[in-house]
Amino acid sequence: MNLSVETVPPERRKPKPAADNLGFGNLFTDHMLTMRYQAGTGWQDAAIVPYQPFSLDPAAMVLHYGQAIFEGLKAYRGEDGSALLFRPKDNIRRMNRSAARMCMPSLPEEEVFAALCRLVDLEREWIPAARGASLYIRPTMIATEPGLGVRPAEEYLFFIILSPVGAYYPEGFNPVKIFVTDTYVRAVPGGVGEAKTAGNYAASIIAAVEAKEKGYTQVLWLDGVERRYIEEVGTMNIFFVINGEVITPPLAGSILPGITRDSVLRLVRDWGLPVSERRISIDEVLAAAENGSLTEVFGTGTAAVISPVGLLSYRGKEYPVNGGATGKLAQRLFDELLGIQYGERPDPYGWLVRL
Ligand code: COI
């Protein structure tokens, strides 16, 4: 596949922000990647172009029926100035699984990987140097064909935009307070819970807003049938440590198959800790919180990295976790993962791609 490149002249490029107060997803780099799909012809017109708005037909099917999928991954600045991508091919593969669920076309994985590397290489000066900061990469696919019939569209736009980011939560690596909702559910068996599709996030906003109004950072979702088994948190997968056992809900179709989740499982297994991917009910978690056997809760995600949970709130009662402080395992995982991601520690799993 040909990739055309149109660059912004150096004097028109945006100033780079200071790395200490970036927030999350508010700033975008000078260039983006776009590629179009047409049924019958396939993917074409791959191009790196100046970052700019698109024009979309008001009948574009994404605006009506929500065929939209995305990914999130990060590039880190290594000590020697190299750009370090963390498990990028896993994100491209996951995007193709989301595409299949949403009846969207499959991406050519090697070509997309090469184009992504080219874009990050072009924008490497945007990778912030500060510890904890990175360049967030957002590949996205939307249905652009105009039409109001409910069916798979025949035209799509794939694009990648880049955003220099700091911590996702205002708390940074400090413990967050989580509200457990049994009013709303995120996904049901047979639904789209494991696809990284925009509608899952749209549906989650009301619960997040209500939790925030009550003073909590995020929502913990329970299963959509019994409202009893733990699923995931708004923007991350969730782990519990009970009596020394590291527990996370299984990938049974309704939760996002997180790449950070997978990395954490790999690390804790290799550290010899007992690990279970199993169903765990909110009653089990709260009973363990009350009898002292719940020693840690933490979330995992690309944006959130490792995010300790210091408190759970359920049905009007608050349950502190580890006295509201960061647990030992969360700290160890945070140090190890960031160490690998910034190229400071050995990468025995071959997770990094160095540009
Ligand atoms: C990520 O962690 O990359 C995500 O996609 C979560 C996002 C919705 C902020």
183-238 per-position pLDDT tens digit: 999 999 999 999 999 999 999 999 999 999 999 999 999 999 999 999 999 889 99
Rounded-to-10 torsion of CA 289, 220, 138, 140: 150
- Say if ligand 1 is within 6 A of residue 301 CB: yes
Q: Is residue 127 domain-shared with residue 107, that is, in the same domain?
A: yes
Helix/strand/coil percentages in the chain, nearest 5 = 25, 30, 40
Q: Is residue 157 domain-shared with residue 236, that is, in the same domain?
A: no
- The residue contributing the CA closest to ligand 1 atom 5 is 72
What's at 43, amino acid-wise?
A: W
Q: Is residue 112 domain-shared with residue 187, that is, in the same domain?
A: no
Q: Is residue 189 domain-shared with residue 325, that is, in the same domain?
A: yes
β-strand pairing of 31-38 with 155-165: antiparallel
Residue 203, domain member (yes or no) = yes
All residues at 6 or more sequence positions from 212 whose CB lies less than 8 Å from its CB, including other chains: none
Can you read off the two tokens belonging to residue 232? Answer: 């995931």
| CATH code, 303 | 3.20.10.10
Q: Average pLDDT of 89-118?
A: 98
**Residue 93 burial (CB count, 10 A):** 15
Please state, in angstroms and rounded to a whole number, the distance separating the CA atoms of residues 111 and 201.
Answer: 28
Residue at token pair 């088994």: 229
| pLDDT (tens digit per residue) in 49-58 | 999 999 999 9
* 12 CA from centroid of ligand 1 (Å): 30
Q: Is residue 199 domain-shared with residue 82, that is, in the same domain?
A: no
- Say if ligand 1 is within 6 A of residue 72 CB: yes
Residue 352, domain member (yes or no) = no
Helix-helix angle 259-270:88-101, to 10 degrees: 130
Please state, in angstroms and rounded to a whole number, the distance separating the CA atoms of residues 337 and 347.
Answer: 10
- CA-based diameter of the chain, in Å? 63
Count the domains in the chain: 2
Position 59 pLDDT exceeds 80: yes
Residue at token pair 């995007």: 95
Position 170 pLDDT exceeds 80: no
Q: Is residue 260 domain-shared with residue 115, that is, in the same domain?
A: no
Q: Is residue 262 domain-shared with residue 144, that is, in the same domain?
A: no
Residue 355, domain member (yes or no) = no
Give the pLDDT of residue 246: 98
Beta-bridge mates of residue 29: none
Give the pLDDT of residue 171: 75
- The residue contributing the CA closest to ligand 1 atom 3 is 72
* 67 CA from centroid of ligand 1 (Å): 18
Position 172 pLDDT exceeds 80: no
Please state, in angstroms and rounded to a whole number, the distance separating the CA atoms of residues 138 and 208.
Answer: 22
At which of 136, 166, 196 does a domain end? Answer: 166
The 3-state DSSP class for residue 268 equals helix
pTM for the complete prediction?
A: 0.96
| CATH code, 76 | 3.30.470.10
- The residue contributing the CA closest to ligand 1 atom 7 is 235
Position 180 pLDDT exceeds 80: yes
Q: How far is residue 140 CA from its own chain's centroid?
A: 12
- Say if ligand 1 is within 6 A of residue 105 CB: no
Nearest atom in ligand 1 to 73's CA: 3
Position 21 pLDDT exceeds 90: no
Q: Average pLDDT of 100-115?
A: 98
Residue 350, domain member (yes or no) = no
Residue 208, domain member (yes or no) = yes
Please state, in angstroms and rounded to a whole number, the distance separating the CA atoms of residues 200 and 70.
Answer: 11
Q: Is residue 272 domain-shared with residue 192, that is, in the same domain?
A: yes
Residue 177 banded pLDDT, cuts 50, 70, 90: very high
- Say if ligand 1 is within 6 A of residue 302 CB: yes
Position 169 pLDDT exceeds 90: no
At which of 116, 144, 166 does a domain end? Answer: 166
Q: Is residue 161 domain-shared with residue 33, that is, in the same domain?
A: yes
Mutate which of 205, 238, 302, 307 for ligand 1? The one with the most ligand atoms within 8 Å of its CB, which is 302
Q: Is residue 161 domain-shared with residue 301, that is, in the same domain?
A: no
Nearest atom in ligand 1 to 301's CA: 2
Give the pLDDT of residue 20: 82
Q: Average pLDDT of 10-32?
A: 94
Q: Average pLDDT of 5-24?
A: 93
Q: Please give the residue that has the higher pLDDT: either 170 or 177.
A: 177
Q: Average pLDDT of 275-304?
A: 97
Please state, in angstroms and rounded to a whole number, the distance separating the CA atoms of residues 75 and 138.
Answer: 11
Position 149 pLDDT exceeds 90: yes
Position 36 pLDDT exceeds 80: yes
Q: Is residue 237 domain-shared with residue 150, that is, in the same domain?
A: no
Residue at token pair 């009596």: 243
Give the pLDDT of residue 167: 83
Say which range, 72-76, 172-176, 317-321, has the weakest mean pLDDT.
172-176
Beta-bridge mates of residue 157: 36, 142
Which residue range(s) make up the domain with 140?
Answer: 3-166
Give the pLDDT of residue 276: 98
At which of 122, 148, 166 does a domain end? Answer: 166
Residue 288 banded pLDDT, cuts 50, 70, 90: very high
